[in-house]
Structure 1
Amino acid sequence: MRDFHKPGRSAVMAMNGICATSHPLAAGAAVDVLKSGGNAMDAAIAGAVILGLAEPQMTGIGGDCFALISPAGTDQVVAVNGSGRSAATADAAVLRGEGHQTVPLQSAHAVTVPGAMDAFCTMSEKWGRLGIADSLAPAIRYMDEGVPVSARVAWDWQGCAPVLSGHGKTHFLNNGAIPQYGDVFRLPGQAEVLRRVAKDGRNAFYEGEIADDMLATLNALGGAHTAEDFAATQCTIADPLGGTYKGQELLEHPPNGQGVVAILLLNILSHFDIANMDPFGAERAHIEAEAAKLAYDARNRFLSDPATMDRLDHMTSMETASALAALINPSKAMVSPAAISEAVHKDTIYITVVDRDRMSVSLIYSIFHGFGSGIASEKFGILFQNRGAGFSLAEGHPNELKGGKRPMHTIIPAMLRDQGRVTMPFGVMGGQYQPNGHARVVTNMLDFGMDPQAALDAPRSFAENGKLQLERGYGDSVRAQLADMGHDIETPDVPIGGAQAILIHKNGVLEGASDPRKDGCAVGY
């Protein structure tokens, strides 16, 4: 239990249902859907789509999503892959021939076909109770009427706005000015898109006038996308990956998402006595950083579209983890072997909902970088992700850009399962930090006995690009010890990620937790 003399937030406790996400209006709308008879899937879609307006720098209908779903009355979990593919004729060789080392971030070459809308419609049909029109109704209203710009969003907007170009400026600036804290922001063009999807389903988005608007914009900027690429977009459904830590099962989304990295990282950490370390001390931060360097190196070597990835068993093997753990010096930092294969970003939203029947949804939804590619369609203002920047241009790499292929994805939803019972859907935002964030939340809870809110509040560290990033929650003595071990210490300008979780107690009580690093909250009833 937290010290009530100090600033902080208490968990939200409820019996009937909870939503935890990164903006209060989205959480409130999701709970309204639950109260009106919808289930967790109906509510999660409703909240997620609103976040494309409330946090437009983070996500939107021009992006992708992944979800883990545990239907009511069962502890089984399914994984939904709502990530889009590259244009059928895309080829890394073309970009290499133009002298590029990586996919240009703010270009049509970085735009993969948006996969989220197909996934939302599919999930609504398969697991929802009300239908897609009811899930989209709150977002349609908000996009027409507008929402006030909140504190974290206003701060992000200042830094991300320079990537906006052309129609992106028209739709995501106010007459050329960056929206400020408290300004009202609207997306009427996207409201019309949602009205058409509510009426005619996913085909309204991927065919006809809306698709034509997207194609015209991309093709004018050199994109190779075709009507056939959009019409063929289809989410896929699979089993999650599972790994065990301290007797509990961590469920992660399979590739092309990076969830397997969280499993590998925990497998490495299981070789160390984490529980007897200071949770905010140098020893734990060092061991976690060294393990992350090795786990992310494996990611960068092997992770790709499932059709081209053949080393998944290697990454989940405890033998692999044991061999990697043996490379860690407990008192000296290694030079990171991980050369980051995709551009770094920290822009994502996450939403989790559990309803009265204990259906659980863990959903993450993103346009990759802040304001994605910066490119928006002319008429409807659909802002395109630049998820294609997650491809490698290295010839022969499993994640090499090729036509009709899904890139390596950073966004990953998660769930914990204890002795077969789904106990906690959760997610940690923050770009490539996410697997490390999942491992940190799990070890905070299982090694140090933290409740979910404390596990999310706790200071974070992350080894990235030759630096060990330490949030300001770490003391000077810890920083000095880590520097003595050989770490190059850096305090990031932006806090490391954000997170949400819902713990399902054995007696049926729901406990919602929300990261203070963003504007969000948990709301229950």
Structure 2
Amino acid sequence: MDADLNFSSRRSPVICLHGCVASSQPLASATGLDVLKRGGNAADAAVAIAAALAVTEPCSTGPGGDAFCLFFNSDTGEIRGINGSGRSPKGLTLEFLKGRKYCAETPPPVFDALNVTVPGAPACWCDTIQMFGSHKLSLREVLNGAVELAEVGFPVAEITAHGWTHWVAELRNAGKELGGDLLIDGHPPKQGQVFRNPALARTLKELGEHGKAAFYQGRVAQAIIDIIVQHGGVMTLDDLSSHDSDVVSPISTKYKGVRLWESPPNSQGLAALLLLNILENFPLKALGHNSADYIHILVEAIRLAQTDAKSYVGDPDHVTIPLQSLLEKKCSSQRAQLINMDRVMQDVEPALMTESDTVYFCVVDCQGNACSFINSTFMGFGTGLVPKDCGFSLQNRGASFSLHQNSVNCVAGGKRPYHTIIPALLTDCASESQKPQLLASLGVMGALMQPQGHIQVLLNMLEFGMNPQQALDSPRIFVEYDLKENQWSVNLEEGINQEVAEVLRRRGHKVNWPVIGHKRSQFGRGQIITIGDWWNPSASHNDHPTRVLWAGSDPRSDGCAMGF
């Protein structure tokens, strides 16, 4: 495989009228499009894609992980969300971990069975269909495409094969072995090799026939508990059977005539909104796209936003979060935080800083409904634990908890951790008497890159007039806190000018340039569908009707957008 893989897509946006999907796997996109053509709506197609991705990209997602979605109802203009993240086992308390000689400085290893939180994705899939679906197709019919992919098999795509191999190696380096359901003769599949997963096909069939009970009770639930307990974990059948999704009201902020919607805590959507609030104070367009001045301001704003998110975001059932006051904060009132910011970020859990694999995808249907959806097992295959005859691995999202007693994200029984995965929607700023108009469904996955990615691709369209595909193609930056050196670092993707990197270094930034090849995965993988070409400053509404859908898919993944 080419180590210097070039991710430049040189693609035009997909343009269509009736319905559109965008995901990180073409086979999954085709599965979602098929559901739309059979009469399903955006929610139905999104769940079909989620299940198909569990088959075709298990190194990023699956029923053993978590999910979040935002749904725009075109009839009412209402946006609602589902928090499909799971809680820790009730027995996983700070005192229990201390009894096992773990502490803030030496938490459980990231792939340990103690880091398995209850998988929230299957419940989220079922609830998405129940709450937002067309009800023209049953859950079984929605999942049929994924079942067929798992039974018949599919050729593994190039970037997926790389990720599959990478995470198998990471597990083995940690003394862990991925369950055999996800290997071929003990090895990860190669690019183009056909992979079948009959065990996952069985799990998806049962989910389609019997709903949530098929996963959180009975055969699958017992298999989950058996393998967790076998490896020293503390999850119980009661932890699984008592799980349910949370229906949430999204949070939002305005920026130059548009409104960005994100999932509320325990999701880190707040970080994206804080970042946008700060950046509104600066003449970004005049600075020039990816210029040294533009990136310098972006870096400082990211540092501020992430520090606030780290200080406040946790499970709202366990901590009161002053969302309104935080969203009203402006750049001038946050600058004082720079003094203490590095100290705060030193408490970040290493797992949060780790590059992760996730799938983000979006759908807009012919009625104008939109579903923005994200699904993840956190770090690759998560713990790598595969319940017997189930065909999926269990997430390690519990590694995101803090063992600092005073942290809002401190581990506790039955608690949701600080969660990195976030979907987004964009609308106009309608008055109270009008329903908002949908402008875009968008997202970028990748640990702490996600709020940074949301804002960078959004600004590419809003400030610099890029179409959705150009906005995703454009080189990105990733700002992270280097725990080993106790300082912030700025990663610049290949395509950003070397002179820009040198100017940033002279301004005191620690710069890593250029980031090339498969290492570019740290900049995330995104999808965008816009309704109309509002991002085009020279467009005439008469020439390009609002109903036209424009879509892009990230060149850093194997996927594509499709429409009809």
Instruction: Give the TM-score normalised by structure 2.
Output: 0.88
Contact 1:346 1:432 in 2 (8 A): no
SS of match in other structure, 1:307: coil
Q: By how many angstroms is 1:95 displaced?
A: 2.3
Provide the secondary structure at the position in 1 that maps to 2:449. Answer: helix
Structure 2: where are the runs of 5+ without partners?
1-7, 430-435, 482-487, 533-544
Q: Distance in 2 between matches of 1:114 and 1:353?
A: 23
Determine if the alignment matches structure 1 residue 264 to structure 2 residue 274: yes
Cα offsets for 1:356-391 (capped at 9, x unmatched): 011100000000001111111122133001011111
2:349 corresponds in structure 1 to 341
Q: Deviations over 1:467-519 (max 9, x none)?
A: 11000111111111111111111144233101101101253111111111111
Query: 1:323 is aligned with what amino acid?
Result: S
CA deviation profile, 1:148-184 (whole Å, cap 9, x unmatched) = 1111111112211124477733122211122111111
Give CA deviations for 1:75-96 in whole Å, capped at 9, x if unaligned: 2100110111100111123323
Please list the CA deviations of residues 106-139 of structure 1 after superposition, one character each: whole Å capped at 9, or x if unmatched. 1111100100101111111222121211111000
1:498 and 2:498 equivalent? no
1:7-51 CA deviation, whole Å, 9 max, x = no partner? 611111111100011110000110011111111111110111111
- Mapped to 2, the partners of 1:147 and 1:48 lie a distance apart of 16
CA distance in 1, matches of 2:248, 2:369: 18
Of residues 501, 510, 513 in structure 2, which corresponds to 1:488?
510
Query: Is the alpha carbon distance of 1:27 and 1:509 closer, same or farther for their aligned partners in structure 2, counting shifts above 3 Å?
Result: same
1:508 correspondence with 2:547:
yes
Letter in 2 for 1:450: M
Alignment of 1:110-509 (within 5 A): 110-129=115-134, 130-164=137-171, 168-313=178-323, 316-319=326-329, 321-325=331-335, 338-339=345-346, 340-343=348-351, 344-419=354-429, 420-465=436-481, 466-491=488-513, 492=515, 493-495=519-521, 496-505=523-532, 507-509=546-548
**Aligned twin of 1:63:** 65
Q: Residues 212 and 397 of structure 1: is their aligned pair in 2 closer, same or farther, counting only changes over 3 Å? A: same
Instruction: Identify which of 515, 518, 524 aligns with 2:557.
Output: 518
Structure 1 counterpart of 2:114, which letter? H
Q: CA deviation at 1:320?
A: 5.0
> Against the structure 1 CA distance between its residues 337 and 275, is the aligned structure 2 distance closer, same or farther, given a 3 Å change threshold?
farther
- Give TM-score scaled by structure 1 length: 0.95
- Amino acid across the alignment from 2:496: Y
The separation in 2 between residues aligned to 1:455 and 1:308, in whole angstroms, is 38
2-structure distance, mates of 1:335, 1:481: 22
1:315-335: CA deviation from partner (whole Å, max 9, x where unpaired): 633335431247779xxxx96
Partner of 2:3: none
Task: Measure the CA separation in 2 of the matches of 1:379 and 1:89.
Answer: 26
1:303·1:408 contact (CA, 8 Å) conserved in 2? yes
Determine the C-alpha separation between the residues in 2 that align with 1:118 and 1:40: 18
The one-letter code sitting in structure 2 at the alignment partner of 1:489 is: V
Any conservation in 1 of the 2:179–2:393 contact (CA below 8 Å)? no
Quote how far apart the aligned CAs of 1:308 are. Answer: 2.4
Alpha-carbon displacement from aligned partner over 1:265-313 (angstroms, at most 9, x marks no partner): 1111112111111212111111111111111111111110011232333
Distance 1:167 1:217, change over 3 A: farther
Residue 271 of structure 1 contacts residue 325 of structure 1 at CA under 8 Å; is this kept in 2?
no
Q: What SS is found at the alignment partner of 2:238?
A: helix
My pick for the range that moved more, 465-474 or 96-105, is 96-105
**Local SS of the residue matching 1:32:** helix
In the alignment, is the contact (CA less than 8 A) between 1:24 and 1:519 conserved in 2?
Answer: yes
Distance 1:336 1:21 in 2: 38
Query: For the aligned residues, what is the CA RMSD?
Result: 1.8
User: 1:3 is matched with which residue?
Assistant: none
Distance (Å, rounded) in 2 between the aligned partners of 1:370 and 1:457: 24
Q: Distance in 2 between matches of 1:99 and 1:238?
A: 34
Which stretch of structure 1 is more off in the superposition, 25-34 or 166-175?
A: 166-175
Identity %: 38
The code of the aligned residue for 2:15 comes to M
